[in-house]
């Protein structure tokens, strides 16, 4: 791990998780800096946030490549250029190839308490199931959908009058704090992943 740790953040949308990391990295004591922000589409607020913070950006759109494998290779190549210690997928809506995951320690946030409610609709599925507590999970990305070893989790209570939007917004507030806290600790103290057990504070990476 470099000091400060080098982060590449991948986004597909509004980028509020990215903004939380940008704000945290403004303090040198945080121990990390964002060396690039990448996206799979143009014209998103996540890229605008990076540009305002004068962070280099890149876009690789699947539709610009003849094959999905071509896109997989291109995203790995451009990320490699920035020599990240950690890649943070923060609302990035594409699955990354096994080759990418073998090359880069990649973390992702999911707006549910894994292994419950994986996939694109964590808040909706939790609400429909009638759970009283849901939350957010930070995990090491593996080949599955939201199945990787868990780094951190935060619970969020479901309110009687929640709809999908209000619940997701409250989850996102907790998710951002969890992400900032865990990524900072990883940057300062290191991380070890053995099977499904993740430990922060073990300088194995
Ligand atoms: C987050 O809730 C993330 O977990 C989910 O999409 C949302 C992204 O929000 N995959 P933002 O783009 O960081 O604002």
Mean pLDDT of the chain: 96
Q: Could you give the CA distance from residue 78 to residue 59 in angstroms, rounded to a whole number?
A: 9
Q: Are 174 and 135 in contact (CB under 8 A)?
A: yes
Pocket test for ligand 1, best of 91, 106, 118, 121 (most atoms within 8 A of CB): 91
The atom number, within ligand 1, closest to the CA of 46 reads 12
Question: In this structure, which residue's CA is closest to atom 3 in ligand 1?
Answer: 91
Would you mind telling me the total number of residues written for the chain in this entry?
Answer: 205
Q: What is the mean pLDDT of residues 1-21?
A: 96
For 139-177, what is each residue's pLDDT tens digit? 999 999 999 999 999 999 999 999 999 999 999 999 999
Q: Could you give the CA distance from residue 27 to residue 168 in angstroms, rounded to a whole number?
A: 28
Does 110 participate in catalysis according to the annotation? yes
Structure pTM? 0.95
CB atoms within 10 A of CB 58: 18
Q: What is the pLDDT of residue 203?
A: 60
Over pLDDT 70: what percentage of the chain?
Answer: 98
């Amino acid at each position: 791990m470099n000091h400060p740790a080098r982060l590449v953040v991948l986004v597909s949308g509004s980028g509020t998780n990215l903004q939380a990391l940008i704000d945290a990295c403004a303090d040198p004591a945080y121990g990390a800096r964002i060396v690039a922000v990448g996206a799979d589409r143009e014209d998103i607020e996540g890229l605008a946030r990076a540009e305002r913070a004068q962070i280099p950006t890149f876009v690789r759109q699947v539709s610009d490549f003849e094959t999905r494998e071509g896109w997989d290779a291109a995203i790995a190549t451009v990320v490699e250029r920035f020599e990240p210690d950690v890649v943070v997928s923060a609302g990035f809506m594409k699955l990354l190839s096994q080759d990418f995951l073998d090359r880069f320690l990649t973390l992702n946030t999911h707006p549910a308490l894994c292994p419950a409610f994986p996939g694109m609709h964590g808040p909706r599925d939790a609400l429909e199931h009638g759970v009283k507590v849901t939350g957010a999970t930070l995990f090491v990305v593996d080949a599955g959908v939201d199945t990787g070893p868990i780094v951190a989790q935060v619970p969020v209570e479901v309110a009687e009058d929640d709809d999908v939007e209000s619940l997701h917004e409250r989850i996102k507030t907790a998710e951002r704090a969890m992400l900032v806290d865990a990524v900072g600790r990883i940057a300062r103290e290191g991380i070890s992943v053995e099977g499904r057990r993740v430990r922060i504070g073990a300088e194995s990476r």
